[in-house]
Amino acid sequence: MEYNFREIEKKWQKYWLENRTFKAEIDYSRPKYYVLDMFPYPSGTGLHVGHPLGYIASDIYTRYKRLNGFNVLHPMGYDAFGLPAEQFAIQTGTHPAVTTGKNILRYREQLDKIGFSFDWDREVKTSDPAYYKWTQWTFIRLFKHWYNNKTQKAEPIDDLIRIFLKEGNGTIDAACTSEWQKDIQKKDPSFPEKWNGIFTADQWKSFTEKQQQEILMNYRLAYLSEAMVNWCPDLGTVLANDEVANGFSVRGGHPVERKLMRQWFLRITAYAQRLLDGLETIDFSESLKEMQRNWIGRSDGAEVVFPVKGTNFALDIFTTRPDTIFGATFMVIAPEHELAEIIATDDRLSAIKEYIDRVKNRSERERMTEVKKVSGEFTGAYCINPLNGKDIPIWVADYVLAGYGTGAIMAVPAHDSRDYEFAKHFGLPIVEVVSGGNISESSYDAKEGTLINSDFINGMEVQQAVKTVIRRIEEMNIGKGKVNYRLRDAIFSRQRYWGEPFPVYFRDGIACVLDESELPLVLPEVDTFLPTETGDPPLARAKNWVTSEGYPYETSTMPGFAGSSGYYLRYMDPRNDHEYFSKESNEYWQNVDLYIGGSEHATGHLIYSRFWNKFLFDIGLACKDEPYRKLINQGMIQGRSSIVYRLKGSNRFVSYGLRDQFDITEMHVDVNLVKDDVLDTDAFKKWRPDLADAEFILEEGNYICGFEVEKMSKSLHNVINPDDLIENYGADTLRLYEMFLGPLEQSKPWDTKGIEGVFRFIRKFRRLFHNHENEFFVSEEEPSAAELKILHKTIKKAREDIERFSFNTAVSSFMICVNELSDPKCCKRAILEPLCILVSPYAPHLAEELWEKLGNTVSISNAPFPVFNEEFVAEDTFRYPVSFNGKMRFQLDLSLDLSSDEVEKLVLQAEESQKWLKGNTPKKIIYVPKKIINIVI
RNA sequence: GCCCGGGUGGUGGAACUGGUAGACACGCAGGACUUAAAAUCCUGUGCCUGUAGAGGGCGUGCGGGUUCAAUUCCCGCCCCGGGUACCA
């Protein structure tokens, strides 16, 4: 065989493994570089061609950095806890650890075949107790810390207790659960009613231990709280906000409802501002940063107190438009608002109760679909506008959310589209206070214009009016400027089996964490993976799921993002059993220089992970406050589905071109039965039993299929398996082709046809090193100027392209180079050896093979990247495009050392020019050296 | 609705800071080698027109603008993909 890729690739994969070629160790003599791929979840279906795209890109970059003298950390491991293995366990009884172990083996096998340069000695699995020990450890640290808003960092809870003992909590500015004192008071009436939550040192000392712990819980960064959560009955668990889309679970698409439950939370909201600010310092795509910004959702505004007329109550409202306060014509509170029923007048009370009841009992699904339906009820009560004393009616409506701001708003229909809809629907007044719109048609929401009908801010521009009103309400002591975030604390409990157990037990109802020396708390065995009859999570089935003192352990487990939040740090020192990672390893590897993965993790993993890291930074563990310096989202590889056209209600199929003449239904057919859009009709009949007697209406003797570009998925029968391609073309060709397909970040359809071109290239490249008899042969002859020019042009391009992650154009430049060298059949070592290094990150197996044949005894992976030499590509002439009025008409070779006057003269003298000048004298001649000559007539 | 990203031949794509639009491939057509096929190699290939191995016109989603020159910059619009959705 001319090019025996099977043998070559097996040989070098074995060599790399046996020689630990890619083992990364701390080496102060070389600069470090850290390249990371997003943690894969080892699913049962294995990899399709879309999965390795990012891995190939990162591997190429890794190998490139090694060639440039960097000590590269490039690890791989598995996000091994997760729902699919557990769902499978429920169905079949197979332990998730068994399923996961099997899937990991399959993944590893597939990854190995592609020839990645991972340091496998650093492999981690989140389900391994030696790994999750540190996930549990971090949880304990979070539990034992609070967030000090004054210093803007996490501090030990013991320090907080010390302050409580000395001066109470009056001076503390902490990130804590809002209105926590109300919840505590509800549960424990020994706290004063209407307590504002402030206590003195003496009061603190007088609290029972249980009371103290209840209070501290509201300060901890990992805390237990009762809250409305996303409950998914089909999965039997609670889900985080990013795991829910449109009222359904992202994984599996099961309906999700709102439920009040006691859960563990992580106080990520404490870090909202830092998570936002950090985005300015990292190199992520603009769209990803924007997604994170929206998810964090900072809004600047003011909180204002509106007294409720004739009562001692007041409505606290949040608004981003304090400037429009004179246009507030009604107030709206959320149905869950505590004052809703209290302030309602007797005649309105039953209507209000009925409305609240109706709204509450709706499913999340109904709520979502009814979003555009305006509904609400008047409470009968009025607020007093604190700036002009006017009465404003108070309504209850579900378009105001209890969970955001204060759950109450001042409605300004003239300048808020939602308020406008509401006002129109219920016939409430609309008062224009910012000029610039036409409020008879729609609200004018823009934050620009001049204030009118607004007392002391009349004539001001919006920005100035906002500031003025905030200053005024602060002076009057009826409100203050305020920043709100949309980001919610992360729900950290899952009522599932296959996850990290919480290192938590309950002593007399008080949640306590284990001592760090007792970690890991190993996941116990259970008889079945289902919840108990009483609805408790599967861990409640475990025998002796209690501490040595007999206190019960927490029965929830941690969510998927727990194990993946800090994994990049563990890779630095993965076998350390007495600390998360050593200080030395962290100070050497620092953080990830290049992170490649899908954008679907924008609001999940990538936010949690940044939060987790900032916490570890605060407590002095991580030396960098951002985990990922640069991130690239690889685009999706879409499938190219093949479609056949079935005559309705029959087993006859009509070819693509004739389908319009019949009444047909479309059907996806397995792409493996189709070649160049021609269906293999015999294979089709054998595909499924019901198709055995299929008949075909052909065109020109063939059945032609239609096609559709869509998601690559099993159900659409368009999955391309990399194993098959490697079998037919080899891993080097697969690697090159995945890169050649198009820009890394763009989505693009997979089309197997194109792989032939790359396969041709790689054989042509190999042929440069072989003679006609297919024997390895290179000559020691001095290279010609032309050959050196080809080589150095390619060195330059290869480096520039890889530096900007333009792998597709780099592959093209190799093709051009090999085409140009093939013409004179260059076989000179001085050209081929550097070229071999250039290609090696992309096609490492063949490069190693040729490198060895060239007489090298050590792996090509640490060879020096060829140095570009300008001299070899220098030109003394340039072929100028000559344009007339901007249209290119002819080309002209000119020496580069001519003056612009000489150039102008020569151009005008050129024979071709006469034709275009048509006797005119040019008005102007533009001459841009090494670019263009343009003659304006 | 709002926020991002994107629209270039039959197809994937290239053109990096405004300077020869369509590199490199696929596909297609023709040719060489071969009994034949595969493999390999050569030639052509944006569209229209044409005296067809000359020449010309049009052309980067659409309509304008700036410029000697626009795929690239500006304004307005259309379409596709992603995110988000009563967040005040």
- Kindly report, residue by residue over A719-738, the tens digit of the pLDDT: 888 898 999 999 999 999 99
Note the CA–C1' distance, A324 to B84, in angstroms.
26
Q: Give me the residue label for tokens 């340039």.
A: A878
What pLDDT is attached to residue A471? 94
- Closest CA to the C1' of B13: that residue is A742
The more confident residue out of A694 and A32 is A32
Instruction: Supply the DSSP symbol for A880.
Output: E
pLDDT value, residue A215: 93
* Closest to A82 (Cα-Cα) out of A564, A690, A508, A484: A564
Report, as an integer, the average pLDDT of A786-809. Answer: 93
Q: Which nucleotide is nearest to A737 (CA to C1')?
A: B25
Give CA–CA dist A427/A622, Å, rounded: 58
Q: In which residue are the tokens 């004298």 written?
A: A921
pLDDT reported for residue A892: 81
Calculate the angstrom distance between C1' of B87 and CA of A411: 15
Q: Is A741 left (phi over 0), alpha (psi -120 to 50) or beta?
A: alpha
Taking the CA of residue A760 and the C1' sugar atom of nucleotide B20, their distance in angstroms comes to: 30
* C1' of nucleotide B4: residue with nearest CA: A287
CA A56 to C1' B33, whole Å: 39
Mean pLDDT of A840-847: 96
The DSSP bridge pattern shows strands A932-936 and A377-384 to be unpaired
Q: Give the nucleotide with minimal C1' distance to the Cα of A931.
A: B19
Q: Is A680 exposed, middle or buried (0-12, 13-18, 19+ CB in 10 A)?
A: middle
| Closest-approach nucleotide to residue A299, Cα vs C1' | B87
Residue with nearest Cα to nucleotide B26 C1': A754
Q: Reply yes or no on whether the pLDDT at A1 is more than 60.
A: no
CA closest to B88 C1', residue: A319
What average pLDDT does this structure show over A632-657? 85
- Which of strand B's nucleotides are less than 7 A from any protein C-beta? 3-5, 11-16, 19-21, 23-28, 39-42, 56-57, 68-70, 81-88
> What's residue A364's pLDDT?
65
Query: Is the pLDDT assigned to residue A658 strictly greater than 90?
Result: no
Q: Which tens digit of pLDDT belongs to each residue from A407-436?
A: 999 999 999 988 998 999 999 999 999 988
The answer to whether the beta carbons of residues A802 and A35 sit under 8 Å apart is: no
b/e map of A569-594 (b: 16 or more CB within 10 Å)? bbbbbbeeeeebbeeebbebbbbbbb
pLDDT digits (tens, 9 = 90+) for A292-305: 998 999 999 999 99
Please tell me the CATH code under which domain A875-936 is placed: 3.10.20.590
**pLDDT at residue A685 greater than cutoff 70:** yes
pLDDT higher than threshold 80 for residue A597:
yes
Q: State mean pLDDT over A585-591.
A: 96
pLDDT at A868: 94
**Nucleotide minimizing C1' to CA distance for residue A370:** B86
Mean pLDDT of A647-651: 86
Phi, psi dihedral angles at A174 (to 5 degrees): -120, 155
User: How many contiguous H segments (helices) and E segments (strands) does chain A have?
Assistant: 31, 33
Comparing C-alpha atoms, which of A365, A152, A387, A185 is closest to residue A271?
A152
Q: Which fold has domain A5-122+564-633?
A: Rossmann fold (3.40.50)
Q: Which tokens in the block code for residue A81?
A: 């806890």
Å separating the CA of residue A747 from the C1' of nucleotide B81: 9
> What nucleotide is nearest A302 when CA is compared to C1'?
B88
In this predicted structure, the answer to whether residue A482 has a pLDDT above a threshold of 80 is: yes
Q: How many residues does chain A have?
A: 937
Q: Taking the CB of residue A103, how many other CB atoms lie within 10 A of it?
A: 22
A888-CA/B59-C1' distance, Å: 14
- Closest residue (CA) to C1' of nucleotide B23 is A812
Shortest-distance nucleotide from A604 CA to C1' = B83
Residue A637 has pLDDT above 80, yes or no: yes
- The percentage of chain A sitting over the pLDDT mark of 90, rounded to a whole number, equals 57
How many angstroms is C1' of B20 away from CA of A824?
27
pLDDT tier at A365 (50, 70, 90 boundaries)? low
Distance between the alpha carbon (CA) of A804 and the C1' atom of B24, Å: 18
CA to C1' distance (Å), from A702 to B35: 27
CATH class label, A299-484: alpha beta
Q: Using one digit for the tens of pLDDT, what is the confidence trace for A20-68?
A: 999 999 999 999 999 999 999 998 888 888 889 999 999 999 999 999 9
State how far the Cα of A336 lies from the Cα of A355, in Å rounded to an integer.
11
Least confident of A242-251, A323-332, A504-513: A242-251
Nucleotide nearest A2 (Cα, C1'): B39
Which residue, counting CA atoms, is nearest to the C1' of nucleotide B2? A294
Span A484-495, average pLDDT: 90
Q: What pLDDT sits at residue A541?
A: 92
Q: Integer distance in angstroms from CA A800 to C1' B16?
A: 9
Closest nucleotide to the alpha carbon of A599, via C1': B82
Nucleotide nearest to A764 (CA to C1'): B40
> What's the CA A639/C1' B9 distance, rounded, in angstroms?
23
Indicate if the alpha-carbon torsion angle A43, A48, A52, A53 is positive or negative.
Answer: negative
pLDDT band at A678 (very low <50, low <70, confident <90, very high): confident
Q: How far is the CA of A897 from the C1' of B42 (A)?
A: 38
Q: How far apart are CA A812 and CA A737, in angstroms?
A: 11
Q: Determine the protein residue whose CA lies at the shortest distance from the C1' of B15.
A: A809
Comparing A98-102, A441-445, A464-468, A626-630, the range with the smallest average pLDDT is A441-445
CA of A786 to C1' of B32 (A): 29
- Nucleotide closest to residue A890 (CA–C1'): B20
- What letter does residue A658 receive in the DSSP assignment? G
Determine what percent of chain A is predicted with pLDDT higher than 70.
Answer: 99
User: C1' nearest to CA of A753: which nucleotide?
Assistant: B26
- Contact between A596 and A38 (Cβ < 8 Å): yes
Among A267, A226, A230, A227, which residue's Cα sits nearest to residue A250? A230
Tokens representing A824 are: 């004179």
Q: How far is the CA of A732 from the C1' of B30 (A)?
A: 33
Distance A817 CA to B41 C1' (A): 18
pLDDT band of A363, cuts 50, 70, 90: low
Q: Is the pLDDT of residue A599 over 90?
A: no
Q: How far is the CA of A746 from the C1' of B6 (A)?
A: 9
Is pLDDT above 80 for A917?
no
Q: Which nucleotide is nearest to A816 (CA to C1')?
A: B24
Q: What's the CA–C1' distance between A463 and B74, in Å?
A: 27
**Per-domain residue ranges of chain A:** 5-122+564-633, 140-271+489-541, 299-484, 637-710, 730-872, 875-936
Looking only at the bridges linking them, the beta strands covering A391-396 and A330-333 are parallel
Which nucleotide in the DNA or RNA is closest to residue A889, CA to C1'?
Answer: B20
Nucleotide nearest to A761 (CA to C1'): B25
* Interatomic CA distance for residues A226 and A262, integer angstroms: 4
Asked if residue A789 lies in contact with residue A796, where contact means CB atoms within 8 angstroms, the answer is no
Nucleotide B1's nearest residue (CA vs C1') is A417
The phi and psi torsions of A542 (rounded to 5 degrees) equal -65, 140
Q: Give A2: exposed, middle or buried? Use CB within 10 Å, 0-12, 13-18, 19+.
A: exposed
Protein residue with the closest CA to the C1' atom of nucleotide B25: A757
Distance A241 CA to B4 C1' (A): 21
> What is the mean predicted confidence (pLDDT) over A590-606?
91
- Band of pLDDT at residue A799, cut at 50, 70 and 90: very high
Strand nucleotide closest to residue A295 (CA to C1'): B84
Over chain A, what is the mean pLDDT?
A: 89
* d(CA A887, C1' B50) / Å: 21
| Mean pLDDT score, A550-573 | 95
Does pLDDT of A902 surpass 80? yes
A187-220 per-position pLDDT tens digit: 888 888 778 889 999 999 999 999 999 999 999 9
- Superfamily classification of domain A730-872: Isoleucyl-tRNA Synthetase; Domain 1 (1.10.730.10)
**Closest Cα partner for A492 from A503, A507, A477?**
A503
Asked whether residue A704 carries a pLDDT value surpassing 60, the answer given is yes
- The residue lying closest to nucleotide B81, measuring its CA against C1', is A747
